């Protein structure tokens, strides 16, 4: 995987009471699991070991953080989801760093260690694929809840801080999509993983395209075209062609 793609990948808000409770519980489980996984990873790295995410507590933690079954079972997004959705989002972000930065020098805070990221992308490809696919479905709900929340507020409470925060989530979502496309289009990515990620990006195309302007769509088209040239999997290529077609047909 080239350095640019490594950089893109690495630099990656009124439900019924019972259903809302399920969301809160799932988010709480994710937060607890993310902190436990972070601690376990730090201990393994300090001991000079590689963490095995395929079994034991680490695997269980990942299942709780990226709990697709619980997520799919949630009711439609609502403004009141915001507190626990943000908690869950925080757990996802923490885990992204745990996976991508595992083994990096904890004292190095100014620049990402691209060699470490590249190694982790290789060693933990299956787990990173699950994380990416989950986030492609998670972020649209975060944004939907965020806009529902803003709409529920009086005009005076739609502060610049809140608007900026939601804009920041949108930017993070779009950057994450770029990383996912790059990852899925890399010739070294396993075909099954590439298909999973490309399908998830395609599934949400109508949502994320709404947040793009002409210049950004051109960037996405160029990125998808490069991914098409890189992939050796026919099904992944079909997803990319569909995404590129939707981008080309979109208008500001």
- Amino acid 252: pLDDT: 66
Per-residue pLDDT tens listing for the chain (252 residues): 554 454 444 444 223 333 344 899 999 999 999 999 999 999 999 999 999 999 999 999 999 999 999 999 999 999 999 999 999 999 999 999 999 999 988 877 677 889 999 999 999 999 999 999 999 999 999 999 999 999 999 999 999 999 999 999 999 999 999 999 999 999 999 999 999 999 999 999 999 999 999 999 999 999 999 999 999 999 999 999 999 999 999 976
Phi, psi of 2 (to 5 degrees): -75, 165
Structure-token pair, residue 144: 């939907």
CB-based contact 141:77 (threshold 8 Å) = yes
- Amino acid 111: pLDDT: 79
Q: How many Cβ atoms are within 10 Å of 152's Cβ, its own excluded?
A: 14
Distance between CA atoms of residues 89 and 230, nearest Å: 31
Distance between CA atoms of residues 151 and 33, nearest Å: 32
DSSP-derived 3-state class of residue 204: coil
Distance between CA atoms of residues 143 and 93, nearest Å: 15
DSSP-derived 3-state class of residue 180: helix
Reported pTM: 0.85
Domain ranges of the chain: 3-249
CB-based contact 216:176 (threshold 8 Å) = no
Relative orientation angle of helices 160-185 and 3-10, to the nearest 10 degrees: 140
């Amino acid at each position: 995987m080239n350095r640019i793609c490594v950089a893109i990948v690495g630099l990656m808000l009124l439900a019924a009471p019972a259903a809302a409770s399920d969301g809160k519980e799932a988010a709480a489980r994710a937060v607890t699991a993310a902190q436990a996984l972070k601690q376990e990873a730090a201990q393994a790295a300090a001991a000079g070991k590689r963490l095995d995410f395929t079994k034991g507590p680490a695997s269980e933690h990942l299942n709780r953080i990226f709990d697709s079954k619980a997520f799919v079972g949630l009711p439609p997004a609502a403004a009141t989801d915001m507190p626990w959705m943000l908690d869950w989002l925080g757990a996802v972000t923490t885990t992204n760093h745990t996976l991508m930065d595992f083994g990096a020098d904890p004292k190095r805070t100014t620049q990402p260690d691209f060699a470490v990221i590249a190694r982790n992308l290789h060693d933990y490809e299956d787990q990173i694929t699950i994380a990416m696919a989950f986030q492609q479905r998670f972020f649209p709900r975060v944004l939907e809840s965020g806009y529902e929340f803003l709409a529920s507020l009086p005009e005076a409470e739609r502060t610049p801080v809140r608007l900026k925060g939601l804009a920041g989530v949108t930017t993070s979502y779009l950057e994450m999509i770029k990383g996912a496309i790059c990852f899925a289009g890399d010739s070294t990515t396993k075909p099954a993983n590439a298909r999973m990620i490309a399908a998830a990006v395609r599934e949400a195309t109508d949502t994320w395209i709404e947040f793009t302007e002409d210049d950004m769509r051109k960037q996405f088209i160029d990125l998808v075209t490069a991914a098409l040239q890189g992939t050796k999997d026919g099904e992944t290529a079909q997803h990319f062609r569909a995404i590129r077609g939707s981008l080309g047909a979109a208008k500001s």
